[in-house]
């Protein structure tokens, strides 16, 4: 019997597969396509997901450059430019890489970890039995049956797994917008070589990669480096016939209506694949539950929303990182299955926040004099650094704090800061220490707490040393997904609550003796 079957080999399903495999659980991944989806989709990632990938050693692979990610100087919200240069703690990181490359890198990593990816296999049905899920699928050689302890639906917004589980997909659909995107060439002399901006006669300058709102719609100019440039428009209350294939002339006509100026478009050249698609209306929906017994939902199968601001991969990949270690712990028998209930408890509110701000952005870019007036007021608010910080944290996911005791340290439930630990072996960032997906007990006093550890179990790594710079705590227990399970600022570290947190999340204790089956003593990492 397999331990986990994952339906869907997109970014979210593959990320979950990698997380499980880091802890010795090698899932079977089913996907109906013959290989990674070549259709152009997302063009990059923004927010905390970039730091998350850094903590798994995937940032350098995707960015094809060494070193940690650096915060962006600018971003956008509802077609407003966000100047992030004044933020002392800027949470917005960008990684401009097409989704096809993300999938290829994650598939390669999953293969390195021994994951069984079965392209060309479509899940057709499943039934839950005591202790297992029986899955039927259609593969290149015909129908086959598989059995696993758990099934995860990472199979997109139209998720067959969600539908077969009879999980409602609650929300709203709209039909008053038409979105278009096309890779195309524009006149070379209209592009500013220094900035990449597009100078449109009769309209003016259009900054690259920024949403531009006019009274007639939204326009985006994206001079990609890895594929031909792309233009995108969104129009309101201008219906289109979805039965007719989209053309470059249709794209040019839409740009003309939005900009009130001509934008000559020619077919793209170079390596594809190229986009030429039209999307009617939109959806904002949230699954009524993320878990049904031994079946769980992940990414777009659990939530869909507007793509404005690119939050989809930020949300879905963090879903995978949250679920992966919990599912592995349950499968290994370290903790009770009830730990899986914390997946929905933690990620559903985050999903709701994303649905809220994408809906708000859609409202703020709509046409109309009232919206224009609202935007004038909003622009005034954005001159306040505190407002910019609030929105940046919202977009990045940096505002997240999972449920914690009100008397707990302020770091508990939050994303662990990427501090650097220094000792006689050198220095390492937390992101480097987290590469193998283990829980981390970090003692920043040089060993005052670590010397009291009597039991180390379930892959928990004990890190000792001193912080390179000022640290917000003297000791931290960090979950595999990068969030703080316990922290103290006492010197020497006060271990009150440490065993309680270790037992709750990892089924073991560190100071007060065993409360669960232990693993071999953890090695102390060079830090």
Confidence check: pLDDT of 516 > 50? no
**Token output for 294:** 């031994």
pTM: 0.94
Q: Taking a C-beta distance cutoff of 8 angstroms, is the pair 199, 205 a contact?
A: yes
Bridge partners, 4 (sequence order): 150
Averaged pLDDT, 257-279:
92
Q: At what angle do helices 11-22 and 99-112 cross, to 10 degrees?
A: 20
Q: What is the pLDDT of residue 44?
A: 87
pLDDT, one tens digit per residue, over 19-55 is: 999 999 999 999 999 998 888 778 889 999 999 999 9
Q: What is the pLDDT of residue 526?
A: 33
- Buried/exposed 229-263: b ≥16 CB within 10 Å, e otherwise: bbbbbbbbeeebeeeeebebebbbebbeebbeeeb
Q: What is the pLDDT of residue 457?
A: 63
Q: Which of 142, 167, 149, 155 is nearest to 29 (CA)?
A: 155
Q: What is the pLDDT of residue 520?
A: 33
pLDDT tier, 514 (very low <50, low <70, confident <90, very high otherwise): very low
Q: What is the pLDDT of residue 522?
A: 34
Confidence check: pLDDT of 216 > 60? yes
pLDDT, one tens digit per residue, over 311-339 is: 888 999 999 999 999 999 999 999 999 99
Confidence check: pLDDT of 138 > 60? yes
Q: Taking a C-beta distance cutoff of 8 angstroms, is the pair 83, 74 a contact?
A: yes
409 in helix, strand or coil?
A: coil
Rounded distance between C-alpha atoms, residue 79 and residue 503, angstroms: 46
pLDDT, one tens digit per residue, over 280-323 is: 988 899 999 999 999 999 999 999 998 776 688 899 999 999 99
Rounded distance between C-alpha atoms, residue 291 and residue 284, angstroms: 20
The percentage of the chain sitting over the pLDDT mark of 70, rounded to a whole number, equals: 96
- Positive or negative, the CA dihedral 391, 392, 396, 402 is negative
> Residue written as tokens 């987290």?
434
pLDDT, one tens digit per residue, over 152-166 is: 999 999 999 999 999
Confidence check: pLDDT of 65 > 90? no
Spell out the domains of the chain, with CATH numbers in brackets. 2-168+288-396 (3.50.50.60), 172-283 (3.30.70.2450), 420-506 (3.40.30.120)
Rounded distance between C-alpha atoms, residue 325 and residue 480, angstroms: 6
Rounded distance between C-alpha atoms, residue 252 and residue 235, angstroms: 13
Averaged pLDDT, 236-258:
93
pLDDT, one tens digit per residue, over 67-107 is: 799 999 999 999 999 999 999 899 999 999 989 999 999 99
**Which strand (E) or helix (H) includes residue 105?**
helix 99-112
pLDDT, one tens digit per residue, over 172-194 is: 988 899 999 999 999 999 999 99
- Share the mean pLDDT of the chain: 92
Q: What is the pLDDT of residue 455?
A: 74
Specify the higher pLDDT residue, 509 or 253. 253
Bridge partners, 426 (sequence order): 423
Confidence check: pLDDT of 512 > 80? no
CB neighbourhood size of 299 (10 A): 29
Averaged pLDDT, 123-143:
97
Look at strands 303-304 and 276-287 and give their pairing: antiparallel
Q: What is the CA radius of gyration of the chain?
A: 24
**Token output for 64:** 């094809």
Q: What is the pLDDT of residue 504?
A: 95
pLDDT, one tens digit per residue, over 457-475 is: 667 999 999 999 999 999 9
**Token output for 147:** 């059995």
Write out the DSSP string of 280-308. EEEEEEEES-SEETTEEE-GGGTEE---T
């Amino acid at each position: 019997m397999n331990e986990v079957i994952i339906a869907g080999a997109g970014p979210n399903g593959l990320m979950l597969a990698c997380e499980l495999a880091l802890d010795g659980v090698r899932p079977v991944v089913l996907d109906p396509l013959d290989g990674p989806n070549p259709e152009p989709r997302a063009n990059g990632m923004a927010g905390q997901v970039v730091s998350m990938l850094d903590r798994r050693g995937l940032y350098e692979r995707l960015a094809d450059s060494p070193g940690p990610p650096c915060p962006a100087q600018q971003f956008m919200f509802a077609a407003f430019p966000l100047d992030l240069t004044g933020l002392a703690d800027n949470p917005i990181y960008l990684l401009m890489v097409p989704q096809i490359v993300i999938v290829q890198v994650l598939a390669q990593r999953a293969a390195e970890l021994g994951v069984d990816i079965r392209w060309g296999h479509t899940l057709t049905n499943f039934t839950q039995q005591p202790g297992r899920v029986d899955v039927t699928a259609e593969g290149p050689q015909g129908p086959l049956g598989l059995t696993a302890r758990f099934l995860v639906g990472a199979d997109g917004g139209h998720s067959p797994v969600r539908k077969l589980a009879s999980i409602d997909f609650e929300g709203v659909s709209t039909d008053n917008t038409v979105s278009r995107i096309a890779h195309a060439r524009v006149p070379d002399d209209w592009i500013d070589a220094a900035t990449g901006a597009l100078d449109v006669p009769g309209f003016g300058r259009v900054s690259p990669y920024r949403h531009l709102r006019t009274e007639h719609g939204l326009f985006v100019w994206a001079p990609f480096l890895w594929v031909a440039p792309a233009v995108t428009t969104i129009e309101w209350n201008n219906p289109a016939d979805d039965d007719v294939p989209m053309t470059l002339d249709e794209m040019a006509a839409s740009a003309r209506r939005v900009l009130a100026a001509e934008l000559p478009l020619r077919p793209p050249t170079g390596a594809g694949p190229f986009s030429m698609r039209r999307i009617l209306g939109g959806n904002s929906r949230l699954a009524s539950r993320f878990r049904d017994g031994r079946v769980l939902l992940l990414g777009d199968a659990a939530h869909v929303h507007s793509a404005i601001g690119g939050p989809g991969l930020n949300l879905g990949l963090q879903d995978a990182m949250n679920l992966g270690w919990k599912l592995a712990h349950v499968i290994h028998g370290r903790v009770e299955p009830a730990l899986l209930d914390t997946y929905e408890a933690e990620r559903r509110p985050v999903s709701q926040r994303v649905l809220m701000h994408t809906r708000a952005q859609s409202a703020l870019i709509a046409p109309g004099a009232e919206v224009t007036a609202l935007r004038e007021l909003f622009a005034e608010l954005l001159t306040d650094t505190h407002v910019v910080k609030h929105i940046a944290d919202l977009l990045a996911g940096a505002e997240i704090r999972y449920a914690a005791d009100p008397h707990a340290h302020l770091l508990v439930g939050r994303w662990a800061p990427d501090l650097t630990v220094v000792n006689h072996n050198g220095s390492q960032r937390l992101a480097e220490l987290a590469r193998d997906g283990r829980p981390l007990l970090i003692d920043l006093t040089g060993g005052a707490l670590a010397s009291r550890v009597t039991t180390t179990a379930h892959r928990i790594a004990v890190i000792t040393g001193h912080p390179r710079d000022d640290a917000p705590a003297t000791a931290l227990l960090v979950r595999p997904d990068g969030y703080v399970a316990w922290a103290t600022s006492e010197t020497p570290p006060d271990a009150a609550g440490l065993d309680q947190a270790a037992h709750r999340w990892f089924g073991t204790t560190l100071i007060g003796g065993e409360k669960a089956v232990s693993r071999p003593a953890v090695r102390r990492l060079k830090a």
